[in-house]
């Protein structure tokens, strides 16, 4: 197992710079997730680590050794792709062991390595089947087994679950988490799905436009998003954003009223409030709005309140059943506000 260090890594395609100043240290045993919208550079970064894409600038170290000019096969990595690309004419067993055979590893040694991998992924009964005789989830498990059997220093995953339906995606996500707990192989996992990132990651690297927007544990990013982008990207249902005017160091209206973060006296701030941070209130001074929408989500309902100033999404327990058109009051604690500079997008509190 090994560390992965990215020092000022850069990628250009001709005149187009798609990655800049990428600095990251992945610890031994760590599970890091690259999260971000489509096109932000996740795959490009992962492919540079794998050696499938040339590094335009900066240094890549795996296990402390510089890898920039090493072939993919000499980097100690194994990669699982979105498109699992199994060989259709080979059995499951052959698909898993093919790479080892080609590397000249003996039959007995291969059998020894095959057993625990097949066991871990529950593939024992499928070994003689062809890929076309498997479901999508089973095929992706074969692809993971093919990577695992190489016993790499580092696992790289590029959106391995995004071709699967929601239920299978959930099941395999749990299996990948379980495998990582068992094997503890250093892993980098690319996804655009925040739920996958939140549930799998020791640490999330949130990316935007070829840069790192924020790094931290899922809890850290959720509780204190560093930018408006991070605040909007992480968390379901989405955070509410309210533009508020500061006057003499105080901002707010009937909904929220708070002292300005240090150094800010006037101007506009953007206040983020998660739908689950509100309490319903009968207090006459509370923010009041008309229920415009009421969606049943199972455990909770998502309701939208509107008045002249704001339109706000609020998550309430499902047992709370306001009617559309009804007037409701809301309260929120100042501690639950996320305050941002609307120009730079940086967090202020
Ligand atoms: N071969 C290429 N030539 C030019 N631009 C590319 C190439 N591959 C990727 N890009 C660009 O690099 C950016 C990052 O792409 P990618 O890493 O695939 O994003 P992600 O995996 O986050 O969706 C995108 O703007 C994409 O258009
Ligand atoms: Mg990609």
Q: Output the domain CATH number for residue 248.
A: 2.40.50.140
Taking only the tens place, the pLDDT of each residue in 303-339 is 999 988 889 999 999 998 899 999 998 888 888 999 9
Residue identified by tokens 């006037």 is 266
Residue 286 has pLDDT above 90, yes or no: no
Residue nearest to atom 25 of ligand 1 (CA): 39
**Banded model confidence at residue 287, pLDDT cuts 50, 70, 90:** confident
Report the mean per-residue pLDDT for the chain: 92
Give the separation between CA 136 and CA 318, rounded to whole angstroms. Answer: 35
The reply to whether 182 and 329 lie within a common domain is no
Do 194 and 236 contact (CB within 8 A), yes or no? yes
The reply to whether 296 and 197 lie within a common domain is no
pTM metric for this prediction: 0.93
pLDDT of 165 reads 85
Give the separation between CA 93 and CA 123, rounded to whole angstroms. Answer: 9
240: Cα separation from own chain's centroid: 20
Does ligand 1 have an atom closer than 6 angstroms to the CB of 186?
no
- If DSSP codes are grouped into helix, strand and coil, which group holds residue 307? coil
Do 194 and 36 contact (CB within 8 A), yes or no? no
φ and ψ of 148, to 5 deg: -60, -40
Residue 54 belongs to domain spanning: 4-225
The CATH number that applies at residue 92 is 3.40.50.300
Give the separation between CA 172 and CA 152, rounded to whole angstroms. Answer: 20
**Element of type H or E holding 296:** strand 287-296
Sign of the CA dihedral running 336, 341, 345, 349: negative
Give the separation between CA 157 and CA 188, rounded to whole angstroms. Answer: 6
The reply to whether 154 and 72 lie within a common domain is yes
* Close Cβ partners of 107 (under 8 Å, ≥ 6 residues apart): none
Does ligand 1 have an atom closer than 6 angstroms to the CB of 40?
yes
The reply to whether 182 and 250 lie within a common domain is no
Does ligand 1 have an atom closer than 6 angstroms to the CB of 38?
yes
Give the separation between CA 36 and CA 207, rounded to whole angstroms. Answer: 5
The reply to whether 165 and 206 lie within a common domain is yes
Taking only the tens place, the pLDDT of each residue in 203-259 is 999 999 999 999 999 999 999 999 999 999 999 999 999 988 887 777 766 667 677
pLDDT of 255 reads 66
The reply to whether 204 and 245 lie within a common domain is no
Atom of ligand 1 nearest to the CA of 158: 21
Beta pairing class for 338-340 and 267-273: antiparallel
* Domain-embedded: residue 140: yes
Do 32 and 26 contact (CB within 8 A), yes or no? yes
Give the separation between CA 96 and CA 100, rounded to whole angstroms. Answer: 8
Q: Which ligand is nearest to the CA of 42?
A: 1
The reply to whether 253 and 196 lie within a common domain is no
Taking only the tens place, the pLDDT of each residue in 28-39 is 999 999 999 999
| Closest to 145 in 3D by CA, of 97, 83, 75 | 97
Does ligand 1 have an atom closer than 6 angstroms to the CB of 18?
yes
* Domain-embedded: residue 319: yes
Do 45 and 39 contact (CB within 8 A), yes or no? no
Residue nearest to atom 12 of ligand 1 (CA): 18
Residue nearest to atom 7 of ligand 1 (CA): 13
Atom of ligand 1 nearest to the CA of 41: 17
- How many distinct helices (H) and strands (E) make up the chain? 8, 20
The reply to whether 206 and 300 lie within a common domain is no
Angle subtended at Cα 344 by Cα 343 and Cα 349, rounded to the nearest 5 degrees: 105
* Domain-embedded: residue 12: yes
Give the separation between CA 237 and CA 294, rounded to whole angstroms. Answer: 13
Taking only the tens place, the pLDDT of each residue in 118-163 is 988 889 999 999 999 999 889 999 999 999 898 899 999 999 998 8
Atom of ligand 1 nearest to the CA of 44: 17
Count structural domains, the chain: 2
| Mean pLDDT on 73-85 | 90
Give the separation between CA 169 and CA 33, rounded to whole angstroms. Answer: 16
Taking only the tens place, the pLDDT of each residue in 40-57 is 999 999 999 999 999 999
The reply to whether 130 and 184 lie within a common domain is yes
205 C-alpha to ligand 2 centroid (Å): 14
Beta pairing class for 154-158 and 77-80: parallel
Residue identified by tokens 């170290």 is 61
- Probe ligand 1: pick from 18, 46, 206, 211, max atoms within 8 Å of CB? 18
Does ligand 1 have an atom closer than 6 angstroms to the CB of 191?
no
* Domain-embedded: residue 147: yes
* Domain-embedded: residue 231: no
The reply to whether 249 and 209 lie within a common domain is no
* Domain-embedded: residue 349: no
236: Cα separation from own chain's centroid: 13
Share of the chain above pLDDT 70, in %: 96
Give the separation between CA 198 and CA 194, rounded to whole angstroms. Answer: 6
The reply to whether 278 and 189 lie within a common domain is no
* Domain-embedded: residue 199: yes
Give the separation between CA 348 and CA 239, rounded to whole angstroms. Answer: 16
The reply to whether 48 and 154 lie within a common domain is yes
Residue 312's beta-bridge partner residues? 305
**Which of 201, 225, 249 is the C-terminal boundary of a domain?**
225
């Amino acid at each position: 197992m090994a560390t992965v260090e990215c020092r000022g890594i850069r990628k250009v395609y001709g005149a187009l710079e798609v990655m800049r100043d990428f600095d990251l240290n992945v610890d031994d045993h760590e599970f890091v997730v690259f999260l971000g919208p489509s096109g932000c550079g996740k795959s490009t970064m992962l492919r540079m680590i794998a050696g499938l894409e040339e590094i335009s600038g900066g240094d890549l170290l795996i296990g402390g050794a510089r890898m920039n000019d090493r072939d993919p096969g000499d980097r100690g990595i194994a990669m699982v792709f979105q498109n699992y690309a199994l060989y259709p004419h080979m059995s499951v067993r052959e698909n898993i062991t093919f790479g080892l055979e080609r590397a000249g590893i003996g039959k007995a040694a291969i059998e020894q390595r095959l057993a625990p991998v097949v066991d871990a992924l529950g593939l024992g009964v499928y070994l003689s089947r062809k890929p076309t005789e498997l479901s999508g989830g089973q095929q992706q498990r074969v692809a993971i087994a093919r990577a695992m059997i190489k016993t790499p220093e580092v696992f790289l995953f590029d959106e391995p679950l995004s071709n699967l339906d929601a239920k299978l995606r959930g099941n395999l996500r749990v299996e990948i988490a379980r495998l990582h707990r068992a094997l503890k192989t250093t892993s980098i996992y690319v996804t655009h799905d925040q739920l996958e990132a939140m549930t799998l990651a020791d640490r999330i690297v949130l990316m935007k436009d070829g840069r790192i927007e924020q790094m931290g544990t899922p809890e850290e990013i959720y509780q204190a998003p560093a930018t408006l982008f991070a605040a909007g990207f992480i968390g379901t249902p989405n955070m509410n954003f309210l533009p508020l005017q500061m006057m003499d160091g105080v901002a707010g209206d009937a909904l929220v009223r708070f002292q300005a973060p240090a150094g800010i006296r006037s101007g506009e701030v953007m206040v983020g409030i998660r739908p689950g941070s509100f309490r319903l209130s009968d207090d006459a001074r509370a923010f009041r709005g008309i229920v415009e929408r009421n969606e049943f989500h199972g455990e909770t309902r998502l309701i939208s309140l509107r008045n002249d100033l704001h339109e706000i999404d609020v998550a309430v327990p499902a047992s709370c059943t306001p009617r559309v058109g009804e007037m409701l009051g809301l309260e929120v604690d100042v501690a639950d506000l996320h305050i941002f500079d609307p120009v730079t997008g940086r967090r202020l509190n």
